[in-house]
Structure 1
């Protein structure tokens, strides 16, 4: 019995080991069959053409701007020339502001003279009215005295 049990047990261990080996081989087969798809996915080259095209387009625009800045006359000037140009611009702006102030002062002076003429005219009319009233009253008084003396 021992030998039967041992041989039966040995056969069952062998069968279990064989079944386990079959499972491992099946698993290994599935992994090997999936390997080409995994390798193809890993080695597939990404197409960067649209992205690179956009980068090139932006770089071209930046280059055009840099060339425009580089070609600007201000970039060719020395710091001393910049300082003189800024001084001239400041002097011109100040001269323009002074001219505008003079023009406004002249306009204000003309308005003041015009208003003085209007006020003088009103005062002159008022003085004329007083003189007319004075001469009228004086004439009336003188006429009354003459009438009284004649009677």
Structure 2
């Protein structure tokens, strides 16, 4: 069998007893360590005190004054709200105030509506007056045009009659009627005016006159000789003339 697996009866070794010198030495080490820690703590506390002395504390007086001013304003507003008569009003009082305000508003609306109606009535009346004046002016203008037309027509009639009456009253050798007729027709001479009037009044007679004049012009020598023979014989004589053929105008 293996000897290591078997229990042994060998006693355990006892620790060595510490001597007094060793104990004091170890105590001195611990005291020295504590002194170092205490010195470190003292330096830290001194440093913190120095830093607190160097800290600049801000001046809070302006901020406090502003806060006091705001508090005073809030107090004033709260006092005004507290003293407001609305807080002392009952629901019945509030209802009465609302009813009075509604009645006043309705009265104002009624007055506005009445004013608008009156304005509309005035506008309609003014429009009727304008229309009436326009109709009156239109009638006056129409009457004026009728008067002008009647006056012009009367003037034309009078001018067409009066010159003839005056011309016929003048001496005959002045030939005023003939001159008025020539000027009215627009011909340069009395002969041209008379020819035009005869041609317009009776074209056949005017044609006969023209043919006779043309025949006399063509047979002037023969007719002159016949006239001399008749004057010498003191009686009518035969006269031979030449008549040219002319184209007959179909009616």
Answer whether TM exceeds 0.5 for this pair: yes
Paired position in structure 2 for 1:15? 32
Q: Distance in 2 between matches of 1:6 and 1:25?
A: 28
Q: Distance in 2 between matches of 1:126 and 1:66?
A: 86
Question: Which aligned pairs between 1:120-139 and structure 2 lie closer than 5 A?
Answer: 120-139=139-158
| Cα distance change of structure 1 residues 60 and 18 upon mapping to structure 2, 3 Å threshold | closer
Question: Which aligned pairs between 1:1-150 and structure 2 lie closer than 5 A?
Answer: 11-12=28-29, 14-31=31-48, 33=49, 48-57=64-73, 59-60=75-76, 77-143=96-162
Q: Distance in 2 between matches of 1:115 and 1:55?
A: 76
Would you tell me which structure has more helix in proportion to its own residues? 1
- Deviation, structure 1 residue 9: 7.1
- Deviation, structure 1 residue 28: 3.7
- The structure having more radius of gyration, on CA atoms, is 2
Q: Distance in 2 between matches of 1:22 and 1:9?
A: 20
Q: Distance in 2 between matches of 1:49 and 1:82?
A: 44
Residues 51-73 of structure 1 deviation map (CA, whole Å, 9 limit, x = unaligned): 22343236536765897885xxx
- Deviation, structure 1 residue 92: 0.4
TM-score, structure 2 as length reference? 0.40
Aligned residue for 2:114, secondary structure, equals helix
| Cα distance change of structure 1 residues 90 and 66 upon mapping to structure 2, 3 Å threshold | farther
- Deviation, structure 1 residue 11: 4.7
Q: Distance in 1 between matches of 2:65 and 2:97?
A: 44
| Cα distance change of structure 1 residues 26 and 100 upon mapping to structure 2, 3 Å threshold | same
Q: Distance in 1 between matches of 2:106 and 2:164?
A: 85
- Deviation, structure 1 residue 140: 3.1
Can you give the 5+ residue segments of structure 1 that lack an aligned partner in the other structure? none
| Cα distance change of structure 1 residues 91 and 67 upon mapping to structure 2, 3 Å threshold | farther
Can you give the 5+ residue segments of structure 2 that lack an aligned partner in the other structure? 1-19, 87-93, 170-251
Q: Distance in 2 between matches of 1:48 and 1:26?
A: 38
